């Protein structure tokens, strides 16, 4: 079964010759669900144009639902919720056999409507309330929240899928029904015919691996035992109730006695939370301060039952390639595969031959910087680095000033002014780094130069160091310090 499962991955079905580490999306099995979930919280942490667009859609949808509830238009509100259909095309979720997305349906849609109508959703953060459904609505689990989110952001997911397919060679078929897409200005669901990949199991939506998680932001039982029950203990002690037991150290209320009296299932959690909403606010605030990191390569390998990343193969694909212009395209692709694996989850969403200035200039590879720790986070805090540009030079001859000028000419206020120039070798690396320093001192941006030896060192560090140590990328930091000193 393990072998068959691997052979049904997107990468195998479309013969991409790519491993999960080198893909920006989850390399799902097209027949069975991969047991990860789209997290609304992860979308808020992306802080990219694409992520912000998704967050805006979710906010708009729930604002619309809540406004209908306020206006007493309950049927209209429930009708919007009932359009949250089965998103089988992502192949994410809990199904062990064939993928089966779990739509809300009439009963669950009514439960969501009830919870929203009776909660403080209109006053609090709406994205937060969507994740609250895992805590506060019977029958709603992390995979249902993922399904809700998938439906609302289906439009951006289709655009992402089309972009990824065009870049890495997945064929698109025309005239595929999109499924319901939320239209924010019209406040309604729409359906269109779009271009999407098709497999033997139906249409396919690709999902960025940066927005999936294995567990929910919130944990019902953890919240109940470590927040709610502790507040209830204090209340029972203060009231001197029959649950108070006298010990040598003083009076105590045992959690097991509270559970025996009030219960511990989801219904009990909801009942007690409605009486003490401040406890939920405390839990929300504390959870919001904790790291909620993207899944690592190792996490995804474990979920998918895959082999560890073959760093030797990724590096060899670069270093064994012949130099020269005739191999420039192949070099660019092998560099992108290696850097995508090396720099994830800090740099995501690689785009080949990104056009700027109305197509008059192109960038070999553009990455979006969403680092939460390490070197790239430091860059984003101290320099203009929302995007990182990479230029690839598979030259037989020396890389010189024109190549530096070419990359610095791609910088801009909205795009950022940090880039990486990757070349096979430098005849005089110290001299070239001085040129990079001159470029920085002239106010034309910051360029880090890497050659085959540097890539070899980066791979060696990635193999032996653990997160978050490897995400400090000391080689990159040393090079950057040298050009700004």
Domain spans in the chain, listed from the N-terminal domain onward: 2-213, 220-288, 310-484
108-122, 196-210, 277-291: least confidently modelled range: 108-122
Asked whether residue 129 carries a pLDDT value surpassing 80, the answer given is no
**Residue 123: its pLDDT value, please?**
44
For residue range 22-53, list pLDDT tens digits in order.
999 999 999 988 999 999 889 988 878 899 99
Asked whether residue 262 carries a pLDDT value surpassing 60, the answer given is yes
Q: Supply the mean pLDDT for the chain.
A: 86
Mean pLDDT in residue range 372-396: 91
Q: When comparing pLDDT for 172 and 102, which is higher?
A: 172
Asked if residues 131 and 144 have their Cβ atoms less than 8 Å apart, the reply is no
Nearest to 128 by CA among 231, 216, 212, 228: 216
**Residue 360: its pLDDT value, please?**
44
Asked if residues 469 and 375 have their Cβ atoms less than 8 Å apart, the reply is no
Asked if residues 55 and 38 have their Cβ atoms less than 8 Å apart, the reply is no
Asked if residues 149 and 130 have their Cβ atoms less than 8 Å apart, the reply is yes
Mean pLDDT in residue range 105-118: 65
Q: β-pairing, 37-38 with 212-213?
A: antiparallel
Residues 6+ apart with CB under 8 A from 39: 131, 146, 149, 211, 212, 213, 216, 217, 292
Percent with pLDDT over 70 in the chain: 88
Q: How far apart are CA 355 and CA 363, in angstroms?
A: 6
Domain covering 310-484: architecture: 3-Layer(aba) Sandwich (3.40)
**Residue 82: its pLDDT value, please?**
84
Q: When comparing pLDDT for 274 and 117, which is higher?
A: 274
Three-state secondary-structure class, residue 248: coil
**Residue 144: its pLDDT value, please?**
81
For residue range 425-473, list pLDDT tens digits in order.
888 888 888 988 988 888 888 989 999 999 999 999 998 887 778 899 9
Asked whether residue 10 carries a pLDDT value surpassing 50, the answer given is yes
Asked if residues 58 and 39 have their Cβ atoms less than 8 Å apart, the reply is no
């Amino acid at each position: 079964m393990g072998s068959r499962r691997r052979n049904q991955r997107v990468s195998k079905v479309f013969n991409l010759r790519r491993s999960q580490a080198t893909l920006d999306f989850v390399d799902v099995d097209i027949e069975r669900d991969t047991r990860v979930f789209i997290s609304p919280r992860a979308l808020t942490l992306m802080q990219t144009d694409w992520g912000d667009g998704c967050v805006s859609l979710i906010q708009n949808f729930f604002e619309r639902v809540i406004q209908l509830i306020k206006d007493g238009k309950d049927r209209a509100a429930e009708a919007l919720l009932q359009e949250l259909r089965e998103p089988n095309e992502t192949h994410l979720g809990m199904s062990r056999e064939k993928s089966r997305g779990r739509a809300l349906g009439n009963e669950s849609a009514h439960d969501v409507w009830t919870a929203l109508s009776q909660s403080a959703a209109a006053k609090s953060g709406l994205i937060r309330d969507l994740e609250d459904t895992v805590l506060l609505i019977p029958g709603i689990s992390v995979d249902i929240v993922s399904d809700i989110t998938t439906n609302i952001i289906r439009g951006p997911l289709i655009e992402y899928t089309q972009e990824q397919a065009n870049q890495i060679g997945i064929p698109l078929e025309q005239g595929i029904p999109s499924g319901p897409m939320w239209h924010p200005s019209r406040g309604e669901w729409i359906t269109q015919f779009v271009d999407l990949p098709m497999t033997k199991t139906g249409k396919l939506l690709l999902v960025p691996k940066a927005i999936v998680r294995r567990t929910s932001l919130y944990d019902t039982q953890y919240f109940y035992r470590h927040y709610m029950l502790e507040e209830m203990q204090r209340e029972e002690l203060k009231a001197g109730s029959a649950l108070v037991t006298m010990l040598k150290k003083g009076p105590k209320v045992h959690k097991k006695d509270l559970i025996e009296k009030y219960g511990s299932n989801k219904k009990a959690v909801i009942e007690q939370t409605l009486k003490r909403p401040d406890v939920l606010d405390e839990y929300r605030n504390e959870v919001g301060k904790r790291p909620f990191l993207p899944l690592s390569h190792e996490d995804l390998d474990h979920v998918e039952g895959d082999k560890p990343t073959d760093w030797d193969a990724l590096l060899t694909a670069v270093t064994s390639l012949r130099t020269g212009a005739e191999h420039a395209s192949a070099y660019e692709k092998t560099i992108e595969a290696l850097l995508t694996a090396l720099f994830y989850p800090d740099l995501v969403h690689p785009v080949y031959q990104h056009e700027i200035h109305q197509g008059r200039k192109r960038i070999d590879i553009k990455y979006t910087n969403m680092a939460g720790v390490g070197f790239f986070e430091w860059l984003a805090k101290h320099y203009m680095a929302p995007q990182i540009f990479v230029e690839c030079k598979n030259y037989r001859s020396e890389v010189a000033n024109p190549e530096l000028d070419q990359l610095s000419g791609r910088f801009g206020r909205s795009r950022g002014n940090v880039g990486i120039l990757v070349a096979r070798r430098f005849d005089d690396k110290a001299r070239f780094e001085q040129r990079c320093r001159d470029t920085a001192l002239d106010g034309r941006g910051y360029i880090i130069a890497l050659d085959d030896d540097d890539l070899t060192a980066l791979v060696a560090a990635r193999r032996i160091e653990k997160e978050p140590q490897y995400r400090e990328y000391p080689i990159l930091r040393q090079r950057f310090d040298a050009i700004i000193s």
